[in-house]
Amino acid sequence: MSRSSAPWVGLSLMLGDAFHDAVRPLFDGDEVDVVEWTFDMGWGRPLPAWLEATLDEFSSRGRLLGHGVSYSVLDASLTDRQPRWLHHLQVELQRRRYHHLSEHFGLMGGGNFHLSSPLPIPLSDTAVEVGNSRLRDLARVARLPVGLENLALAFSLSDVQQQGEFLERLLAPVDGFLLLDLHNLYCQAMNFNVSLEELVDSYPLDRVRELHLSGGSWSQPLSHARPVRRDTHDDRVPEELFQILPTVLRRCPRVEAVILERMDGTIDSANLSDAANFRADYRRLRAITREAG
């Protein structure tokens, strides 16, 4: 299967002024094809006027992608968390038109997702059954293509090796799509000393509809332990990801959008080169995607 046109290239939107200042030249130059909005990040708070206007504009053009963090697809607890989240989603979808919706693989246990991250769950029939139920509910409310993003965090090598199979079993019943985050795979490759190329090949690439790229950081939780690569979205995209991107695009002919991520509060407004480097990464990403498309 060949791609009929180059994928859209765009940005994951953030709330902060420093992020806005960094990306404004890209919007002014008409270099942004599509935007992604983590909608549950905005629930219950006022949004900056520029962000509201950007969301409305890309919604009207059919170029707005929805992304969630706190639905918690693999949460088996009997609470009102998911029904409440789905109610907020219904309200969101009445306000703006999204091209598709994605969520994270895993369990979101913390109340404040800004300070936590989804946790991996071992592959089991029970976990798949829970995830299937959650995704059916999401698809029923969304009435749009729905997908899941692969996770960076893993507790064991088996988590890493089985996540592609796990995602396929979750997505198949709703014909869902895979949001393949290449930096998440990079974290696993670094932390478990496995081949990035082999990790890519372990996923259902025919389901990939969206790609994410970002940077991250290294942490050393224990002085005697090896450093851990984390998906912190606070630095430049690793060179290895730019190098593998053309291959990934060829292997994933259904990709519609490629998104660059940077976490709010991580662009230093006093350091002009920080914002310039972010824009340079974006333009390089866009050039590679267009050439491969």
Instruction: Report the alpha-carbon distance of residue 53 to residue 42 in Å, rounded.
Output: 14
pLDDT for res 115: 45
pLDDT digits (tens, 9 = 90+) for 202-222: 999 999 999 999 999 999 877
Helices 125-142 and 81-95, axial angle in degrees (round to 10):
30
For residue 156, how far is the Cα from the chain centroid?
Answer: 22
Residue 64, strand partner residues: 35
**Mean pLDDT (10-residue bins), the chain, 293 residues:** 80 97 98 98 95 98 97 90 95 97 86 63 96 98 98 95 98 98 98 97 98 94 84 96 98 98 94 95 98 85
Note the pLDDT of residue 114: 46
CB 219 within 8 A of CB 227: yes
Look at the block and give the residue holding tokens 């219904």: 90
pLDDT score at 132:
98
| pLDDT of 110 | 52
pLDDT at residue number 14: 97
d(CA 38, CA 40): 6
Q: Domains along the chain? A: 8-292 (3.20.20.150)
